[in-house]
Structure 1
Amino acid sequence: MNDQQEVPTVQGLVRTEPIQQRSAQRVEKLLDAAAEIIHADGIDSLTTSDVAIRSGSSVGVVYRYFPNIQSLLRALAARNLEHYTDRVFAALENDQNAWRNALDAAIDTFVDMHRNHVGFRALRFGDVINDRFLDPSLSNNGVFSRAIAGILGEKYNFVPTDDLIFDLEIIVEIENALMKRAFLLEPQGDERFIQKAREIARGYLRESTHLPVVP
């Protein structure tokens, strides 16, 4: 990739970088508390005092790492992305198929996180708040496509090109719309839209001229 921005991380977004293990664990507890609150009551219900109470901390501790609710949500969205990429990569650990099929794992993980990951459906990767929530210089789907490109490049040992990243971003834009619709009315997702998302992703990649030759 040529001069591509780094994918945002939780550690890069907290106010005081949690170098020590104890600090890192405290940040995790704050994010866990925030995820539980928005899972139960939605994003608009999130307050600093509620996060402090649920995490067993003080409001001062919350402000030490997150100066406002927006920064807390941004870190939680980044953690969602970290959890997502870790799970997709793990799902591909023993995969011997052509890497084109890796998007199935990406879609399956996205669906599962909607269904089972606490707080994910309410926030996702922050796109429900702002289309440039994770990085003001990129769309959220642009960040997401770079994360997918990173997974594929690491798993199948190639350097994603700008053209391939663009192809992935096109797919992500389409898939994002279909997934929003799939989970709009049904908590477990409408399988018709989910299946159509898989079909479109496979079809688009089959037509791409920017795929690497990977055994």
Structure 2
Amino acid sequence: MLRVQRMLDCCAELLDEVGYAHLSTTRIAERAGVAIGSVYQFFPDKKAITQALGLRFLDQFATRITDRLAGADRSDWTAVVDAIVDEYVDMHRTVTGFRSLHFGDVVDPQLLDRGADNNRVISVRLRQIIVAHHGLEDGEELDRAVHVSVEAADAVLKLAFRNDPDGDALLVLEAKRLVRSYLRQFSEPAADTAPQ
């Protein structure tokens, strides 16, 4: 519905302008040019609106990665890692509201899903994309590897953007190198790497 999308667009604009602490349903309604009752018809409070925005960002992120991988070599982990990190960095730089909200951690570590941390929700979505792109067999090992990769990349990318609004290019590269190195285990012959 166009009215809901307009509210989400205005929420994103306001997040970049005033931050979550100063965001309100009243401000969103005023910016969207709708009555406050229209906001409450769809969202009980500002947290619900930011949750919807975070889920929209997640869908955009997944679509951008899937589109980028459409023509990529299915055996190349580098292309997958680059696509994920590059699309995250580009969204941070260009998508209104994303740099302020990301996928919701600034609001609630479980904003995207009451039953899971935001990074867990992201790792599940990325694992689905990776399985579809590479034709890999899904399972606990891949699930754990993607989850660890998301957590590690998230930490380094937060560092990259901490003091540089465009993201420190060298730290972005380090995030890629870290994840590529870790995921290399899935593109090489299996070895006994279980802890003793």
Tell me how far 1:209 sits from its aligned partner: 8.3
Q: Is the 8 A contact 1:125 1:134 kept in 2?
A: yes
Q: Pairwise mapping of residues 179-194 of structure 1 onto structure 2 (< 5 A)?
A: 179-194=157-172
Tell me the distance in 2 between the aligned counterparts of 1:154 and 1:187: 33
What letter is aligned with 2:163? L
Q: Aligned with 1:134: secondary structure?
A: coil
CA separation in 2, counterparts of 1:49 and 1:211? Answer: 58
1:165 shift after superposition: 1.3
Q: What is the Cα deviation at residue 142 of structure 1?
A: 0.8
Matched, 1:100 2:83: no
The count of corresponding residues between Structure 1 and Structure 2 is: 189
With 181-190 and 41-50 compared, the bigger mean Cα shift is at: 41-50
User: What's the counterpart of residue 14 of structure 1?
Assistant: none
Q: Secondary structure at the match of 1:183?
A: helix
Distance in 2 between residues matched to 1:211 and 1:132, nearest whole Å: 37
Aligned to 2:104: 126
- 1:175 and 2:168 are equivalent in the alignment: no
| Percent identity for Structure 1 against Structure 2 | 32
The reply to whether residue 27 of structure 1 matches residue 4 of structure 2 is: yes
What is the TM-score of this pair, normalised by structure 1? Answer: 0.83
Structure (1 or 2) with the greater helix fraction: 2
Return the alpha-carbon distance in structure 2 between the equivalents of residues 56 and 154 of structure 1. Answer: 41
d(CA) in 2 for partners of 1:87, 1:211:
30
Q: How does 1:56-205 map to 2 (within 5 A)?
A: 56-101=33-78, 102-205=80-183
Query: Distance in 1 between the 2:21 and 2:101 partners?
Result: 11
Query: 1:62–1:128: structure 2 CA closer, same or farther, 3 Å change rule?
Result: same
What is the CA RMSD across the aligned residues, in angstroms? Answer: 1.9
Shift of 1:125: 0.4
Equivalent residues of 1:164, 1:210 under 8 A apart: no
User: TM-score by structure 2 length?
Assistant: 0.90
Q: Do 2:75 and 2:134's aligned partners in 1 also have CA atoms closer than 8 Å? A: no
CA contact (8 A) 1:145 1:169 kept: yes
Q: Is the 8 A contact 2:47 2:107 kept in 1?
A: no
Question: Which one-letter code corresponds to 1:65 in the other structure?
Answer: F
Distance 1:124 1:211, change over 3 A: farther
Stretches of structure 2 lacking an aligned partner (at least 5 in a row): 191-196
Cα deviation, 1:115-136, whole Å, max 9, x if unaligned, reads: 1110001000001222222112
